[in-house]
Amino acid sequence: DVKVTQSSRYLVKRTGEKVFLECVQDMDHENMFWYRQDPGLGLRLIYFSYDVKMKEKGDIPEGYSVSREKKERFSLILESASTNQTSMYLCASRPTEYFRYGYTFGSGTRLTVV
């Protein structure tokens, strides 16, 4: 069964901390995405990557960066966590071919910044 695995289900971090959210997929997909989900705002794209070492800004990249050193792993970095980054973070992947099939999502990381 294909999988997107996010390393943590729940995280609590302090304001100003540097936070790493890790995502690994085992489907050999070229494309990986980071979304955040907030009530009333739906899923908003933070960053995505089409290939190793490539990254593109999504709709809300401010305060975030990403790293993709290997095809299967896509990391989201909060450089200095703030309380408005408290959210559910969802990682997703999809192949370049057959992209119309949509994404495979991970289970999400619920991040609380205090």
Partner 1 sequence: DQQVKQNSPSLSVQEGRISILNCDYTNSMFDYFLWYKKYPAEGPTFLISISSIKDKNEDGRFTVFLNKSAKHLSLHIVPSQPGDSAVYFCAASANTGNQFYFGTGTSLTVIP
**Cα gap 107→88, rounded to integer Å:** 10
Q: Does 97 bind partner 1 (CB under 8 A)?
A: no
19's CB contacts (< 8 A; 6+ apart) are 11, 13, 77, 78, 81, 111, 113
Q: Does 61 bind partner 1 (CB under 8 A)?
A: no
How many residues touch partner 1 (CB under 8 A)? 27
DSSP 8-class letter at 78? E
CB of 11 to partner 1, least distance (A): 13
CB of 74 to partner 1, least distance (A): 14
CB of 98 to partner 1, least distance (A): 12
CB of 22 to partner 1, least distance (A): 15
Out of 25, 29, 33, 36, which residue is the one contacting partner 1 (CB under 8 A)?
33
The region of 12-20, 38-46, 60-68, 70-78 touching partner 1 under the rule CB under 8 A is 38-46
**Cα gap 87→100, rounded to integer Å:** 27
The region of 14-22, 31-39, 61-69, 75-83 touching partner 1 under the rule CB under 8 A is 31-39
26-54 burial, b for 16+ CB within 10 Å, e for fewer? eeebbbbbbbbeeeeeeeebbbbbeeeee
